[in-house]
């Protein structure tokens, strides 16, 4: 067992023989922060058929991988995975722990943080190292600054865990960048015995049936996104956005308000509680520009806003502003694209 | 078979539509200007409980909320829709609680309620979007958890069959009671108020709402079903060092209003000529086409 403690650890999700992108993104961020703190980067992965999984993980600069292999650990259920992390963390006392803000990480993280009485900040959009001085004058050096939008995205809060370890955070897929550090990087593999980290009662929840489809929507990878907001007014009007996205070779995205209204599916939601995107072209149609939405698309190369309100907040970050009704403008854009392309 | 179900609910400011009138002059949010509502996914959770009550007669649904005295409003809302009972957990010592201190307080209230087969809450509240309180309560009570639930299909032989909606699909799990379940917004909408229940419960009130109104007090004393329970740290025997700010490992270092660097936007007139020029420009610089 490892002798050094207080490192930075990332819980890696694993499906179909592949480590999840969000985990690799967190490893990339973790490497940078670990370098800053002069500590090691570790990963923990629990599941079945984990042979050679380290080959996917080491290149991100991982110094040590904890592997727990057992057929009962896949598919994921809350209790055994929580027990593994709780017991492992008690042993190795990580300084910082990250997991994806996915249905797994958001199920697992709170349970682990409750058992360890450590703090957990959900859906961070930025993670930094910095000092903190509290109201009583106590000073803390090199804390993890966990930055996240709060209050429906209308404010941004910086959260710290001064006294408790590990400092835990979840981050959504696509928020951090994924970057191989060194394809030849090799660390240590530590195999953990599942029976030492879980108990029989942890396996009481059975997964009866599982129907996981590869998502049909690929917002993150699409170079062009046509997004609709509440200003679209109806599900029918969303059909027009599909036409524009089709002719331009892009995908349709939506704001939370439009998804809540039932005009678009959940997997098309862009923003702090949806997907973060960085397309070449973002056409915002009837999008007012709530901060939680802007947080998920502000890095787009070119932003066009089509809105009846000339003062819509989104216009302030747009490159092109068209003031008018979406149902007037979009058909014209389709027409002139067809006329001028090829 | 009848069940004892606790539904966790939160009264939240409606952050989904923060209009211009909700912003103060300095650009901060005037929380008082936002309507206080029943957290949307908690309504989905209530519906799951009420559905089980329909399926298994004799089932008792108790609403539990933590908040200021006015949170009794959502207890009444739940009673109108079919809940049997409600408790407001309210104490100044809970102020400033992060998710961990919140789940501690709620877990102590669940212990005080004592009998529960299912504790059901929304996946997350719209003022925080953390989705942490459900799993943390499960951990504190030593119970299994099923998150992202879309449908509690049935309860048989001490086990619940539950459909979950996760990122890219659907999973069906079987989990033993007692159990904590958090429900997604994609689950069935909550049934509307029932007119008979509204008649029955419209005068339901908590002790802090009754205050010193002796007439109201006497009225409710004669009708115990109208008494909304109000518990504090003492009632639930909470350890004060685990409540509120003191019991919260996470601290807010700072809060900023979001300011985006404004770009120099080009205005494109909504006419054929300018729109065609825009398309030509985007094709010429290889943004599209």
Chain B residues closer than 8 Å to A152 by CB: 15-16, 18, 126-127, 129
Name the residue of chain A whose CA is nearest to B275's CA: A333
With CB atoms and an 8 Å threshold, state whether A156 touches B167.
no
Q: Does residue A212 belong to any structural domain of this protein?
A: no
What residues in chain B have per-residue pLDDT under 50? none
Chain A residues closer than 8 Å to B110 by CB: none
φ and ψ at residue B240, rounded to 5 degrees: -60, -25
The closest alpha carbon to B235, from B52, B109, B127, B126, belongs to: B109
| Cross-strand partners of B35 | none
Domain annotation for chain B: domains and CATH numbers: 4-247 (3.40.50.620)
Q: Which residue of B31, B33, B189, B249 to mutate against A (max A Cβ within 10 Å)? A: B249
Chain A residues closer than 8 Å to B169 by CB: 210-213
Residue A270: give its domain's CATH number.
3.40.50.1220
Are A15 and A136 within one domain?
A: yes
Q: What is the pLDDT of residue B35?
A: 86
Domain that holds residue A107: 8-203
User: What residues of chain B, 251 to 280, have a C-beta less than 8 Å from chain A?
Assistant: 251-258, 260-263, 265-270, 272, 275-276, 278-280
What is chain B's Cα-based Rg?
23
CB–CB of B193/B81 below 8 Å? yes
Are A197 and A280 within one domain?
A: no
With CB atoms and an 8 Å threshold, state whether B251 touches A212.
no
Residue whose tokens read 């089709």: A246
Residue A21: give its domain's CATH number.
3.40.50.620
Q: What is the pLDDT of residue B57?
A: 96
Q: What is the pLDDT of residue B73?
A: 96
Q: Does residue A218 belong to any structural domain of this protein?
A: no
φ and ψ at residue A106, rounded to 5 degrees: -80, -10
The closest alpha carbon to B94, from B66, B121, B119, B127, belongs to: B66
With CB atoms and an 8 Å threshold, state whether A205 touches B253.
no
Pairwise CA distance, residues A300 & A245, whole Å: 16
Pairwise CA distance, residues A168 & A156, whole Å: 18
The number of domains in chain A is: 2
The closest alpha carbon to A120, from A101, A142, A140, belongs to: A101
Q: What is the pLDDT of residue B202?
A: 95
The closest alpha carbon to A336, from B184, B252, B95, B272, belongs to: B272
Q: Give the alpha-carbon dihedral of A276, A272, A128, A60, to 10 degrees.
A: -40
Q: Does residue A171 belong to any structural domain of this protein?
A: yes
A104 sits in the region (left: phi over 0; alpha: psi -120 to 50; else beta) called: alpha
Nearest to A102 among B129, B167, B289 (CB): B167
- pLDDT per residue as tens digits for the range B35-58: 899 999 999 999 999 999 999 999
Are A150 and A233 within one domain?
A: no
Q: What is the pLDDT of residue A274?
A: 83
With CB atoms and an 8 Å threshold, state whether A110 touches B251.
no
φ and ψ at residue B81, rounded to 5 degrees: -90, -10
Are A161 and A261 within one domain?
A: no
Pairwise CA distance, residues A14 & A57, whole Å: 11
How close is the nearest chain B Cα to the Cα of A137, in Å?
A: 13
How close is the nearest chain B Cα to the Cα of A78, in Å?
A: 7
The dihedral built from the CA positions of residue A218, A220, A225 and A230, taken in this order, carries a sign that is positive
The closest alpha carbon to A286, from A243, A242, A238, belongs to: A238
Name the residue of chain A whose CA is nearest to B126's CA: A152
Q: What is the pLDDT of residue B25?
A: 59
Rounded (to 5) percent helix, strand, coil in chain A: 30, 30, 40
Are A188 and A251 within one domain?
A: no
Q: What is the pLDDT of residue A260?
A: 87
Chain A residues closer than 8 Å to B260 by CB: 294, 298, 316-317
3-state secondary structure A193-241: CHHHHCCHHHHCCEEEEEEECCCCCCCCCCCEEEEECHHHCCHHHHHHH
Are A167 and A236 within one domain?
A: no
User: What residues of chain B, 37 to 96, have a C-beta less than 8 Å from chain A?
Assistant: none
Nearest to A329 among B127, B186, B275 (CB): B275
CB–CB of B231/B93 below 8 Å? no
CB–CB of A113/A85 below 8 Å? no
Q: Does B24 touch chain A (CB under 8 A)?
A: no
Q: What is the pLDDT of residue B217?
A: 94
- pLDDT per residue as tens digits for the range B193-245: 999 999 999 999 999 999 999 999 999 999 999 999 999 999 999 999 999 99
Are A54 and A125 within one domain?
A: yes
How close is the nearest chain B Cα to the Cα of A182, in Å?
A: 31
Chain A residues closer than 8 Å to B140 by CB: 114
User: What residues of chain B, 209 to 228, have a C-beta less than 8 Å from chain A?
Assistant: none
Are A62 and A91 within one domain?
A: yes
Q: What is the pLDDT of residue B285?
A: 87
Q: How far is CA B222 from CA A229, B219, B249, in A?
A: 52, 6, 45
Chain A residues closer than 8 Å to B243 by CB: none
Domain end residue (candidates: A155, A174, A203)? A203
Pairwise CA distance, residues A106 & B128, whole Å: 13
φ and ψ at residue A57, rounded to 5 degrees: -100, -40
Are A45 and A74 within one domain?
A: yes
ipTM of this predicted structure: 0.89
Nearest to B129 among A123, A211, A333 (CB): A123
Are A159 and A298 within one domain?
A: no
Pairwise CA distance, residues B136 & A78, whole Å: 12
How close is the nearest chain B Cα to the Cα of A184, in Å?
A: 33
The SS3 assignment for A319 reads coil
CB–CB of A37/A1 below 8 Å? no
Q: Does residue A215 belong to any structural domain of this protein?
A: no
Domain end residue (candidates: A174, A203, A232)? A203
Total residues found in chain B within this entry: 289
Q: Does residue A219 belong to any structural domain of this protein?
A: no
Pairwise CA distance, residues A154 & A149, whole Å: 7
Cis peptide before A166 (omega within 30 of 0): yes
Tokens matching residue B221? 């004393």
The closest alpha carbon to B6, from B147, B179, B169, B161, belongs to: B179
Are A257 and A129 within one domain?
A: no
3-state secondary structure A6-56: CCEEEECCEECCEECHHHHHHHHHHHHHHHHHCCCEEEEEEECCCCCCHHH
3-state secondary structure chain B: CCCEEEEEECEEECHHHCCHHHECCCCCECHHHCCEEECHHHHHHHHHHHHHHHHCCCCEEEEEEECCHHHHHHHHHHHHHCCCEEEEECCHHHCCCCHHHHHHHHHHHHHHHCCCCEEEEECCCCCCCCCCHHHHHHHHHCCCEEEEEEEEEEEECCEEEEEEEECCEEEEEEEECCEEEEECCCCCCCCCCCHHHHHHHCCCECHHHHCCCHHHHHHHHCCHHHECEEECCCCCCCCHHHCCHHHCCCEEEEEEECCCCCCCCEEECCCHHHHHHHHHHHHHCCCCC
Cis peptide before B178 (omega within 30 of 0): yes
pLDDT in tens, chain A (342 residues): 556 899 999 999 998 889 999 999 999 999 999 999 999 999 999 999 999 999 999 999 999 999 999 999 999 999 999 999 999 999 999 999 999 999 999 999 999 999 999 999 999 989 999 999 988 899 999 999 999 987 766 678 899 999 999 999 999 988 899 999 999 999 999 999 999 999 999 999 999 999 877 667 788 889 999 999 999 999 999 999 999 999 999 999 999 999 988 899 888 999 877 888 999 999 999 999 888 898 889 889 999 999 999 989 899 899 999 999 999 999 999 999 999 987
CB-based contacts of A236, cutoff 8 Å, min separation 6: none
Are A169 and A229 within one domain?
A: no
Q: What is the pLDDT of residue A106?
A: 97
The SS3 assignment for A99 reads strand
Element (H, E) at A82: helix A78-92
B156 sits in the region (left: phi over 0; alpha: psi -120 to 50; else beta) called: beta
With CB atoms and an 8 Å threshold, state whether A122 touches B287.
no
With CB atoms and an 8 Å threshold, state whether A317 touches B15.
no
């Amino acid at each position: 067992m490892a002798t050094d403690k207080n490192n930075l650890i990332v819980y890696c999700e694993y499906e179909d023989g592949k480590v999840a992108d969000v985990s690799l993104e967190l490893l990339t961020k973790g490497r940078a922060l670990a370098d800053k703190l002069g500590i090691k980067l570790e990963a923990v992965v629990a599941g079945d058929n984990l042979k050679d999984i380290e080959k996917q993980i080491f290149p991100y600069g991982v110094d040590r991988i904890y592997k727990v292999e057992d057929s009962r650990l896949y598919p994921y259920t809350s209790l055994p995975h929580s027990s593994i992390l709780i017991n492992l963390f008690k042993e190795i006392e990580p300084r910082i722990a990250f997991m994806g803000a996915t249905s797994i990480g958001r199920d697992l993280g709170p349970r682990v943080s409750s058992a360890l009485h450590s703090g957990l900040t959900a859906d961070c959009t930025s993670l930094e190292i910095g000092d903190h001085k509290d109201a009583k004058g106590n000073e803390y050096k090199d804390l993890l600054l966990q930055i996240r939008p709060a209050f429906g995205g209308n404010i941004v809060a910086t959260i710290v865990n001064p006294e408790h370890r590990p400092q835990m955070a979840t981050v959504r897929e696509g928020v951090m960048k994924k970057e191989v550090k060194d394809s030849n990087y090799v660390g240590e593999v530590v195999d953990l015995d599942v029976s030492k980290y879980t108990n029989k009662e942890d396996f009481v929840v059975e997964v009866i049936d599982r129907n996981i489809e590869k998502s049909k929507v690929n917002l993150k990878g699409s170079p062009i996104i046509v997004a609709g907001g509440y200003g679209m007014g109806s599900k029918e009007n969303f059909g027009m956005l599909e036409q524009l996205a089709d002719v331009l070779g892009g995908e349709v995205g939506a704001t939370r308000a439009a998804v809540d209204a039932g005009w678009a599916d959940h997997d098309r939601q862009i923003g702090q509680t949806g997907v973060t995107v960085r397309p070449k072209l973002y056409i915002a149609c009837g999008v007012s520009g709530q901060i939680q939405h802007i947080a998920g698309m502000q890095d787009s190369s070119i932003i066009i806003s089509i809105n009846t309100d000339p003062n819509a907040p989104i216009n302030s970050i747009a490159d092109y502003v068209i003031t008018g009704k979406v149902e007037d403008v979009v058909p014209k854009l389709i027409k002139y694209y067809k006329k001028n392309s090829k | 078979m009848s069940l004892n179900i606790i539904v966790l609910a939160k009264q939240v400011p409606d952050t989904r539509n923060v209009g211009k009138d909700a912003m103060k002059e300095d650009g901060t949010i005037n929380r008082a200007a936002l309507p206080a509502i029943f957290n949307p996914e908690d309504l989905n959770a209530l519906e799951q409980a009420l559905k089980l009550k329909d399926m298994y007669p004799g089932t008792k649904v108790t609403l539990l909320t933590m908040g200021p005295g006015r949170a009794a409003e959502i207890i009444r809302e739940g009673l109108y829709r079919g809940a049997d009972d409600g408790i407001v957990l309210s104490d100044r010592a809970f102020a400033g609680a992060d998710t961990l201190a919140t789940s501690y307080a709620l877990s102590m209230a669940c212990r005080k309620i004592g009998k529960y087969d299912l504790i059901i809450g929304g996946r997350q509240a719209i003022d925080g979007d953390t989705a942490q309180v459900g799993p943390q309560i499960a951990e504190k009570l030593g119970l299994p958890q099923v998150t992202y639930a879309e449908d509690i299909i049935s309860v048989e032989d001490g086990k619940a069959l539950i459909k979950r909606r996760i990122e890219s699909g659907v999973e069906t799990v079987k989990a033993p009671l007692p159990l904590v379940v958090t429900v997604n917004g994609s689950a069935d909408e909550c049934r509307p108020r029932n007119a008979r229940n509204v008649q029955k419960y419209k005068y339901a009130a908590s002790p802090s709402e009754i205050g010193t109104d002796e007439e109201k007090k006497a009225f409710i004393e004669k009708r115990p079903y109208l008494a909304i329970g109000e518990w504090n740290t003492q009632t639930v025997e909470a350890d004060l060092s685990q409540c509120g700010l003191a019991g919260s490992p996470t601290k807010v270092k700072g809060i900023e209003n979001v300011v985006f660097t404004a770009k120099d936007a080009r205005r494109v007139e909504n006419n054929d000529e300018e729109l065609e020029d825009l398309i030509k420009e985007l094709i010429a610089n290889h943004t599209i086409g």
